[in-house]
């Protein structure tokens, strides 16, 4: 079965600390991978995506993610977080479909404390 799992529903961290938000998927077909962010009272916006090529992808606001095919993971990382990174983060996967329907994980709320 095709599924997306975000292992942590909430991640609290202190400002300037590193953070990793985990995402795993299950699929028997090729995938495209995305991370979206939803700031409080705002719509979703794309952080970064993996379609092909280098497995390490860089996105906006200093975030990066690495596609690991053998572990079926696409974890999101940032070496030093800011208060403004407080938001909900969603991992999303397109399972080899030609029309690009995205299946979303349950979301991870990142809270950055001063």
Partner 1 sequence: GAGVSQSPSNKVTEKGKDVELRCDPISGHTALYWYRQRLGQGLEFLIYFQGNSAPDKSGLPSDRFSAERTGESVSTLTIQRTQQEDSAVYLCASRYTLAGKNTGELFFGEGSRLTVL
33 alpha-carbon distance from chain centroid: 8
- What's the closest the beta carbon of residue 16 comes to partner 1, in angstroms? 29
Which is closer to partner 1, CB of 107 or CB of 110? 107
Other beta carbons within 10 angstroms of residue 95's beta carbon come to: 18
The H or E element that residue 112 is part of is strand 108-113
- What's the closest the beta carbon of residue 13 comes to partner 1, in angstroms? 20
- What's the closest the beta carbon of residue 96 comes to partner 1, in angstroms? 12
- Footprint on this chain of partner 1 (rule: CB under 8 A): 6, 32, 34, 36, 42-46, 49, 51, 90, 92, 94, 99-107
Which is closer to partner 1, CB of 11 or CB of 15? 11
DSSP state of 85: G
Separation CA 60–CA 38 (nearest Å): 13
Which is closer to partner 1, CB of 15 or CB of 44? 44
Structure tokens at 70: 């053998």
């Amino acid at each position: 079965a095709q599924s997306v799992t975000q292992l942590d529903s909430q991640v609290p961290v202190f400002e300037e600390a590193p953070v990793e938000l985990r995402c795993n998927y299950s699929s028997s077909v090729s995938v495209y991978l995305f991370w979206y962010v939803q700031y409080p009272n705002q719509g979703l916006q794309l952080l970064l995506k993996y379609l092909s090529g280098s497995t390490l992808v860089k996105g906006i606001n200093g975030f990066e993610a690495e596609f690991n095919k053998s572990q079926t993971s696409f974890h999101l990382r940032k070496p030093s977080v800011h208060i403004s990174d407080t938001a909900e983060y969603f991992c999303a996967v397109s399972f080899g479909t030609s029309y690009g329907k995205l299946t979303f994980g349950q979301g991870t709320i990142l809270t950055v404390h001063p």
